[in-house]
Amino acid sequence: MKPIVLIHGYSSEGKSNSAADIYGTLPADLRREFGANQVLDVNLSRWISLSDGVALDDVSFAMERALNSPKFRHLLRGGFNVVIHSTGALVVRNWLRLFPRKPSPVACLVHLAGANFGSGLAHVGRGTLVRWSRQIFQGVDPGARVLDELEFGASKTLDLHLHFLQPGHRLAEDYGVREFCLIGSQTLNGLRFVPIRYVKEDSADNTVRTSACNLNFNHVTVKPTAAARQLSAARVDHHVASRLAGEPISRECYDFDLSALADERPAIPFAVLYETAHFGAELGIVHGSKTRRKVLPLLVDALSAPDTGTSQAELAARWHKVTARTLQRAGRLKGRLTDWNRRAQYEGHSQLIFRLRDQYGADVAEHDITFKSGGGRGRERLEWMIEDKHTNRLNPGTTTFYLRTQQFVEKVPTSRLDRVAPLDLEITGCETQSRDIRYLPVRVRLSAANLRRMLQPFRTTLVDVELMRLPSGNVFRVTKG
């Protein structure tokens, strides 16, 4: 058994936290599970995430420096496994990107509630109340720059994950790194009374959404057609005027590409655990006393799995059954008038992220995204599923929608997308500082079948939209002298 390195998440460090405070009995549990002679070493990392001036790149660089120290250089030579919690996912994935080794010394990378696609607490964490409570009770800063990269729709984080979809950079095929994702869907009872939605969202573990942890994400692109790139300024003005007047605009200006969906790639094993939260002495996924019997067997499953594609596929199917059993148990939960809907907290949600940039790669900050679903008896409109909308603070061209795409019907989890209505997606951009700049509006028809291809419960879908930014004829003229 190769050595194991444990890497914690944001906010685990404090003024006086010990390694035992951060990791609990997990190191001893791993030795007991594998046998003291089988686990060569369990290495406990420490990274100070809460200094405002420290960015994710700094932490990943410091990780490389620590691994190159004489005491731990053997890990790079002989290989090791990594078990992360929360933001540790971004630290390790970013380290793999910045310091690529093929094959990588990392054999298995197990995500325990990995915050791969952000956390709602990232922008709450900047608040004055949180800042003062940290200074008084923990003696640390909020960690502003790490929070920037944890916020929903952070472009740097999205690009990090897209990097590993590119040929030559795929973690499993090119680096030899096998990944596994585990998360709960439980909120601690005491947090139900906190007036912050992100500590009590359904399909989340009080910090990270299940869909934000899952690395089986979809990537969709919307780009101008060749004909659209040749449009005259007058014709673009016509399209903009039609859109503003609420009139139908052409669907021939943009192409919709669904070729980079999760189902087209080898599956990364993913499971949602029953009665497991992000933290907590009893329900926490890292060292909760009541979650040990659920978490440890799956950790052993991942760390001892043979290094073959067949093994990964089999394990992914097995973990899918773990999620199914979680939902089966949740379906038997009964609500009480004095309680929250305990069953609904397990209903699968999806993150739908739109990132709008022009053909030069610049953010389109001022924009409008409209879903126009068709009718039909018994059809579900996508608009009805939206429960939260967040515009990224540093990248205002990026909007994250949170959709309830699953519900229990007579105790059985049912995908609402099975009944989804087709829709027209319309997107308009605006340059508020000049009347001589227009964005060519988007109108794309999405059939019910394509919506089901690009959206699934417990997954994130990133839609990258290239909006054509076009100057009027007044911006540049050439005349004969």
Q: Write the pLDDT tens digit of every residue in 315-356.
A: 999 999 999 999 999 999 987 666 678 899 999 999 999 999
Residues 420-431 have a mean pLDDT of: 94
Least confident among 152-156, 225-229, 382-386, 460-464? 225-229
| CB half-sphere exposure, 67, CA atoms < 13 A | 24
CA-to-CA dists, residue 385 to 215, 347, 415, 455, angstroms: 22, 12, 11, 12
Residue of 299, 275, 269 lying closest to 83 (CA atoms) = 299
79-131 tens-digit pLDDT: 999 999 998 899 999 999 999 999 999 999 999 999 999 999 887 755 544 54
Which of 163-172, 206-215, 226-235 shows the lowest per-residue confidence on average (mean pLDDT)? 226-235
79 in the Ramachandran plot: left (φ > 0), alpha (ψ -120 to 50) or beta? Answer: left
Hey, how many other C-beta atoms are within 10 angstroms of the C-beta on 139? 11
Query: Is 399:390 a contact under the CB 8 Å cutoff?
Result: yes
Q: Please state, for a pLDDT cut of 70, what percent of the chain lies above it.
A: 89
pLDDT on residue 143 = 63
Q: Where are the domains of the chain?
A: 4-216+265-331, 218-262+347-471
Q: Which of 38-47, 82-91, 187-196, 440-449 has the lowest mean pLDDT?
A: 38-47
State the pLDDT at residue 441: 93
Q: Which is higher by pLDDT, 133 or 355?
A: 355
- Of 27-41, 230-244, 437-451, the least confident: 27-41
Q: What is the CA radius of gyration of the chain?
A: 24
Q: Beta strands of 227-318 (E only): which ranges? A: 254-260, 270-273
Please, are residues 9 and 146 in contact by the beta-carbon 8 Å criterion?
no
Phi, psi torsion values for 396, nearest 5 degrees:
-65, -5
Residue 446 predicted with pLDDT over 90: yes
Mean pLDDT of 10-22: 56
What's this model's pTM, rounded to 2 decimal places? 0.92
365: pLDDT strictly greater than 50 = yes
Pick the CATH number of 4-216+265-331 from 3.40.50.720, 3.40.50.1100, 3.30.1950.10, 3.40.50.1820: 3.40.50.1820
Contact (CB, 8 A) for 265 and 282: no
- Provide the pairing of β-strand 423-429 with 469-471: unpaired
Confidence at residue 369, expressed as pLDDT on a 0 to 100 scale? 96
Task: Say if residues 354 and 158 touch (Cβ distance below 8 Å).
Answer: no
Residue 416: band (very low, low, confident or very high) from pLDDT cuts 50, 70, 90? very high
Average pLDDT over residues 353-367: 96
Predicted local confidence at residue 141, as pLDDT: 46
Least confident of 56-70, 231-245, 372-386: 231-245
pLDDT band at 225 (very low <50, low <70, confident <90, very high): very high
Q: What band does 382 get if pLDDT is binned at 50, 70 and 90?
A: very high
